[in-house]
Chains A and B, each alone.
Chain A
Amino acid sequence: MRYFILTILIITVIAAGGICGAEDGSELRQIRREIQQIRADEERQRQRDERLIGELEQKVEKLENQNRQLQQSSAQMQTRTTQQLQQINEQLGSSASDFARTFHDYLGTHTFTLTGAVGGDFIYDRQTATNTFALDFEPIILYRVTDWLLFEGTIEANLPAGGGADFSLPVATAQIFLNDYLEVQAGIFDQPFGDWYEDQSPFWVNRFVTAPLPYSVEALIPPTDIGVQLRGGAQWGALGQDIDYTAWVSNGPSFANDIPQPVVGQAINGVNTIKVNTNGQGYGGRLRVYPFPLDSNLGRLELGASTLNGKWLHGNWYNAWGVDFAYLRGPLQARGEFLEMYRQMPTGNADNRQGWYVQVGYFLNQLPLPFAPDPVADFIHRLEPLIRYSGVNQRAIVQDEVSTLPETGFSGSPSIFTPHAREVALGLDYWVAPSIVWQNEVDLELPEAGGSIIAFGGNPTPTVIPRGATPNDVAFLSQLAIGF
């Protein structure tokens, strides 16, 4: 029985195997067909891709060729352009430099340059009933030897009352530029104290016709001096932030010796040409700083301080110091100074003086005038209204030194010669060109009471009279100033 069951199972298995084998055969054929189909598709796809890749490669090659050609033609064009430009530059440059060289050779290495200024005035003063014309001519000769050596001379030709021209030599210096930060200047020079004498006094540079009172006929500081200066400037921050210095040794101050004895209020001499008043020297120093960078749009501010010290007679000292500022922003310009002088007197009485001025001007060249006709707008745009207040305090005035004869830049008003002079100056400038100006100025002389008048009157000892109220005065000055 057991064998029978085993036999049936074997037969069943064999039968089942035969049936399955028949099904497997048809599936396999189907799979083979699909595989062949896939292979055929892949082949076609590969052939298509290879064709596309070939086409792309051809395109890339074509583009590369084009690019190479463009580069070549660009380089050729650039070379041609450069050559042409070079030729043009050479043609232009050679002719210009040939001309410049020829001209320079003709002039020589030592060159003379003439600059300077001339001022022609009309002057009216109410108190003295004066009205007159006046003329002053100040050529500056610059003799440039090399790029580190310059000689400078200023000759002043002034036409005083009742005579021919007076000639003087306010400046004659050698300027030696040792390096970028140091220059030596020797000779007779404008006093480097404050901004007035060196920088503001030329006719066309001074916005007014007259000088401010501390630098006028009763000056606190000698206008010129003889000696040696060391000076220079440097940039300490951004562009426009500068600092500069001047230090000098000179003959120093002296006072007028045309009166029998030194007194308080005596006029200071314009220059101490040959020093016989003392064996001491004068020592001066000046420092200026410009705090604002050029790009800050804060304008240009200058702050300065000066000092001058020296023995004016034997062992008696003269000490002066001052501070000053200048500010420029667009059409606005303002400047001012305060200075003080102390003079030791042989008699023991001190001679103290203070002076100051402040001035403001506004150029109308940027004033919008949309409805004004062109000639009117042009006229107004050349105008610069100005105002200045200045004053001097001193204890006395020497009567014998007072000269009310007007001259260029001075109205001759007696009210200026008071111990406490005050002046309001109103100005209106008409600018013909950057260095040609027609200036008009009304001076209101408003002296304050106080102080003394010292008079010798031919006697060896002075008479001292208390100064009472001094009458006010009005003066008008009109000047054509030409800077050349």
Chain B
Amino acid sequence: MKRVPIAIFLALAVLAATCAAGGAEEIGKAEQRRLFRDGARLWPVYCAQCHNARPGSEFAPYQWDAIMMHMRTQANLPARDARAVLEYLKAGR
């Protein structure tokens, strides 16, 4: 009986694994501009929820890729919002 929650947990994980991968999508220029605009609005608020917002110039774009994955996990950021902040940080360099 006690293994039921674990089984449900694992089943959910496997089920989720079959969903579309959350990988990179080729985005158009219009969507890129929308992400940048949203990122500029979200960056000071989402980051400052826990700590001071750090400027894009502090890290290289490839580093921001990793750091934003880390921050998406830490703060459970919605995926699109994380992409918007990442776009802003990389473009804002």
Q: How far is the CA of A107 from the CA of B69 in the complex (A)?
A: 18
Q: How far is the CA of A328 from the CA of B44 in the complex (A)?
A: 11
**What residues of chain A lie closer than 8 Å to B67, measured between beta carbons?**
113, 115, 142
Distance (whole angstroms) from the CB of A341 to the closest CB of chain B: 21
**What residues of chain B lie closer than 8 Å to A300, measured between beta carbons?**
45, 48-49
Across the interface, do B41 and A144 meet the contact criterion of CB distance under 8 Å?
no
Which listed residue (A177, A195, A328) contacts B45, Cβ 8 A? A328
Q: How far is the CA of A283 from the CA of B5 in the complex (A)?
A: 9
Q: Is A88 an interface residue (CB 8 A)?
A: no
Distance (whole angstroms) from the CB of A100 to the closest CB of chain B: 8
Distance (whole angstroms) from the CB of B77 to the closest CB of chain A: 6
Across the interface, do B16 and A230 meet the contact criterion of CB distance under 8 Å?
yes
Which bucket holds chain B's interface residue count? 35 or more
Across the interface, do A177 and B22 meet the contact criterion of CB distance under 8 Å?
yes
Q: How far is the CA of A240 from the CA of B12 in the complex (A)?
A: 27
Which listed residue (B5, B12, B24, B45) contacts A294, Cβ 8 A? B45
Which residues in window 268-325 of A have CB below 8 A to B?
Answer: 280-281, 283, 288, 294, 300, 302
Minimum CB distance partner of A190 in chain B: B74
**What residues of chain B lie closer than 8 Å to A280, measured between beta carbons?**
2
Residues A111 and B66 in contact in the complex (CB < 8 Å), given A230-B13, A233-B77, A240-B45: yes
Which residues in window 59-86 of B have CB below 8 A to A?
Answer: 59, 61-63, 65-67, 69-70, 72-81
Minimum CB distance partner of B52 in chain A: A434
Minimum CB distance partner of A232 in chain B: B76
Distance (whole angstroms) from the CB of B28 to the closest CB of chain A: 16
Q: How far is the CA of A350 from the CA of B42 in the complex (A)?
A: 46
Q: Is A11 an interface residue (CB 8 A)?
A: no
**What residues of chain B lie closer than 8 Å to A34, measured between beta carbons?**
none
Across the interface, do A249 and B5 meet the contact criterion of CB distance under 8 Å?
yes
Q: Is B17 an interface residue (CB 8 A)?
A: yes
Q: Is B27 an interface residue (CB 8 A)?
A: no
**What residues of chain B lie closer than 8 Å to A185, measured between beta carbons?**
73
Distance (whole angstroms) from the CB of A426 to the closest CB of chain B: 21
* Bitwise interface map of B from 15 to 56 toward A, beta carbon under 8 Å scored 1, else 0: 011011111100000000000001001100100111111110
Minimum CB distance partner of A437 in chain B: B52
Which bucket holds chain A's interface residue count? 35 or more
**What residues of chain A lie closer than 8 Å to B48, measured between beta carbons?**
300, 328, 333
Which listed residue (A142, A234, A294, A434) contacts B70, Cβ 8 A? A142
Residues A178 and B50 in contact in the complex (CB < 8 Å), given A104-B62, A184-B13, A233-B76: no
Across the interface, do B75 and A199 meet the contact criterion of CB distance under 8 Å?
yes
Minimum CB distance partner of A286 in chain B: B76
* Number of inter-chain CB pairs below 8 Å: 149
Minimum CB distance partner of A279 in chain B: B2
**What residues of chain A lie closer than 8 Å to B59, measured between beta carbons?**
113
**What residues of chain B lie closer than 8 Å to A182, measured between beta carbons?**
16, 19
Residues A235 and B65 in contact in the complex (CB < 8 Å), given A200-B50, A288-B76: no
Which residues in window 231-257 of A have CB below 8 A to B?
Answer: 231-235, 239-240, 242, 244-247, 249
**What residues of chain B lie closer than 8 Å to A144, measured between beta carbons?**
62, 65-66, 69
Q: How far is the CA of A183 from the CA of B9 in the complex (A)?
A: 13
**What residues of chain B lie closer than 8 Å to A143, measured between beta carbons?**
66
* Bitwise interface map of A from 144 to 170 toward B, beta carbon under 8 Å scored 1, else 0: 101110101000000000000000000
Across the interface, do B2 and A175 meet the contact criterion of CB distance under 8 Å?
no
Across the interface, do A249 and B76 meet the contact criterion of CB distance under 8 Å?
no
**What residues of chain A lie closer than 8 Å to B63, measured between beta carbons?**
111, 113
**What residues of chain B lie closer than 8 Å to A326, measured between beta carbons?**
49
Across the interface, do A204 and B51 meet the contact criterion of CB distance under 8 Å?
yes
Residues A111 and B62 in contact in the complex (CB < 8 Å), given A235-B81, A249-B9: yes
Q: Is A217 an interface residue (CB 8 A)?
A: no
Which listed residue (B41, B49, B53) contacts A302, Cβ 8 A? B49
Residues A228 and B62 in contact in the complex (CB < 8 Å), given A113-B67, A240-B45: no
Q: Is A379 an interface residue (CB 8 A)?
A: no
Distance (whole angstroms) from the CB of B13 to the closest CB of chain A: 5
**What residues of chain A lie closer than 8 Å to B20, measured between beta carbons?**
179
* Between-chain CB contacts (< 8 Å), 29 pairs: A107-B62, A111-B62, A111-B63, A113-B59, A113-B62, A142-B69, A147-B22, A147-B69, A148-B23, A150-B70, A175-B70, A177-B23, A178-B16, A180-B22, A184-B16, A185-B73, A195-B50, A198-B74, A233-B77, A234-B78, A244-B77, A247-B9, A249-B6, A281-B2, A294-B42, A328-B45, A431-B52, A434-B53, A434-B55
Give the A-binding residues of B (Cβ under 8 A). Answer: 2, 5-6, 9, 12-13, 16-17, 19-24, 38, 41-42, 45, 48-55, 58-59, 61-63, 65-67, 69-70, 72-81
Give the B-binding residues of A (Cβ under 8 A). Answer: 100, 104, 107, 111, 113, 115, 140, 142-144, 146-148, 150, 152, 175, 177-185, 195, 198-200, 202, 204-205, 228, 230-235, 239-240, 242, 244-247, 249, 280-281, 283, 288, 294, 300, 302, 326, 328, 333, 431, 434-435, 483
Given contacts A115-B70, A179-B19, 18 further A-B contacts (CB under 8 A): A104-B62, A107-B62, A142-B70, A148-B21, A148-B22, A152-B73, A177-B22, A177-B79, A183-B73, A184-B16, A202-B51, A230-B12, A233-B75, A247-B9, A249-B5, A281-B2, A300-B48, A483-B51
